[in-house]
Chains A and B, each alone.
Chain A
Amino acid sequence: MEKEIRKEEPRLMKGNEALAEAAIRANIDAYFGYPITPQSEVIEYLMLEVPKRKDKETVVLQAESEVASINMVYGAAGAGARVMTSSSSPGISLMQEGISYIASAQLPCLIVNVVRGGPGLGTIQPSQSDYFQATKGGGHGDYHLIVLAPSSVQELADFVFDAFKLAEKYRNPAMILADGALGQMMEKVVLPADNSFPKVAKPWATTGKTKDRERNIITSLFIQPEVMEKVNLELQEKYAAMQSEVRWEEFNTDDAEVLLVAFGLSARICQKVMDLGRAKGIKIGLLRPITLYPFPYKRIAELSEKVEFILDVEMNAGQMVEDVRLAVEGKIPVHFTGRMGGMILSPEEILHKIESIHESLTTANV
């Protein structure tokens, strides 16, 4: 985000509310959603705040279900609106059919997943167990979402803008993959400036036929397999182009002997692990993928040449670790540590794991 638009005072805000406020400031045309803990504050905040902003023409609607909200998003996005929805894990599962349709019809929209522990109805505590669902498609067919993983309330607000920019650039649905703790967390945030994100032209939108062009058709149904394959090839071409948008953040990787790889809230915990470890003389570095799709395979491969081993830290049973292993290609050991079902790892737990791996490596060498 450019510096000149950050003129505002920092505010103390809850993650969900910062996200909702950023959405208002991004001039969204519509929000369709259905409440579910831990992201209910998004719709609550929008319902309260939008009517107060006389300059905004945002529609905020509580649909009858998650299935209805994602199909409303599909319709609005087809008509060229800047539109978003938000939910938490079980709700996002309900939306998968609609998300696949939107990806096939190549429409930009934003889906926010404030992940809670699963599987099933699960728990309302934070988790990162929707990594596969978010990055590998989730619904049916060969498609991908652009996935951004914030690790602070500040990023939750900023990524609303970033996600819409990417979605509109590539005509592809984007997802913000947060978690229950980020959504509920109170933190300092400097909100992006209002009206700083102009609308883009969408000549493909179904806004009524004009004399100078053919009619626009938005569909995800292509009966002839030849046509369907052509659409698929187009999608794959788009995903290949998207790889240039990959983003990540690195800490102390110059002299690192141990590399931690973690996204979102886990990366925040790993920063503490890094400090604790360095105080003890263990050279720990951290790589935090910011975009989960596209994933920073190349950078992890480069770093795997320099470090002894990688420890992947996630609040799940080990999902991103598969992508890390793909990047490393077996050159060095990739270990995993994580907790599930809404439990959060403690820095001491992770450090202990690093020390025990270190120990087993040194005894193996003797």
Chain B
Amino acid sequence: MIRGSIKVDTKICKGCELCIIACPQDVLALSVNFNDKGYRYVELISSACTGCINCALVCPEAAITVYREPKPAKKTQAKV
């Protein structure tokens, strides 16, 4: 399983929850904290993120950046 992570621009997140609905892994939730405008921004609540980028695609504010762990290098290369 590919592991991923997200970074939310908390300043522009408006807590619309679209990403929470879009997330197949159910690893997103609204924070208990607020941003400058008073919105509860979204945050990652577990390490089960696969980096599928669904959240970033639906985000109307483009506030989510998705990171994926690089794939492990193939072992066949070591034989040479």
Instruction: Show the binding face of A for B, using Cβ within 8 Å.
Output: 37-38, 40, 124, 184-186
Chain B's closest residue to A183 (CB) is B14
Instruction: Quote the shortest CB–CB distance from A138 to chain B (angstroms).
Output: 24
Flag whether B16 is at the interface (Cβ < 8 A): yes
- Rounded to whole Å, the gap between the CB of B60 and the closest CB of chain A is 4
Question: Contacting A37 at CB < 8 Å: which of B16, B39, B60, B61?
Answer: B39
Once bound together, how far apart are the Cα atoms of A40 and B39, in whole Å? 13
Main secondary structure of the interface of B (DSSP, over half): loop
Check if B72 is an interface residue, CB within 8 A of chain A.
no
- Tier of interface size on chain B: under 10
Q: Per-position contact with A for B10-30: 1 when CB-CB < 8 Å, else 0?
A: 000010100000000000000
Contacts of A185 in B (CB 8 A): 60
- Judged by a CB distance under 8 angstroms, whether B74 is at the interface is no
9 A-B pairs whose Cβ atoms sit less than 8 Å apart in the complex:
A37-B37, A37-B38, A37-B39, A38-B37, A40-B37, A184-B16, A185-B60, A186-B60, A186-B61
* Number of A-B residue pairs having CB atoms within 8 Å of each other in the complex: 13
Contacts of B37 in A (CB 8 A): 37-38, 40, 124
Interface of A is mostly: loop
Residues of A within 8 A of B61 (CB): 186
A37 — which chain B residues lie within 8 A by C-beta?
37-39
CB neighbours (8 Å) of A186 from chain B are 60-61
Chain A residues with Cβ below 8 Å from B60 are: 185-186
Closest partner residue, chain B, to A35 (CB atom): B37
A124 CA to B38 CA, complexed, in Å: 7
Chain A residues with CB under 8 A of B39: 37, 124
Interface residues of B in 58-76 (CB under 8 A from A): 60-61
**Nearest CB on B from A182, distance (A):** 13
For the complex, what is the distance from the CA of A185 to the CA of B61, rounded to whole Å?
A: 10
Residue of B16, B37, B61 with most partner-chain A CB within 10 A = B37
Given contacts A40-B37, A185-B60, 8 further A-B contacts (CB under 8 A): A37-B37, A37-B38, A37-B39, A38-B37, A124-B39, A184-B14, A184-B16, A186-B60
Residues in B neighbouring A184, C-beta threshold 8 A: 14, 16
Output the nearest chain A residue to B59 by Cβ-Cβ distance: A186
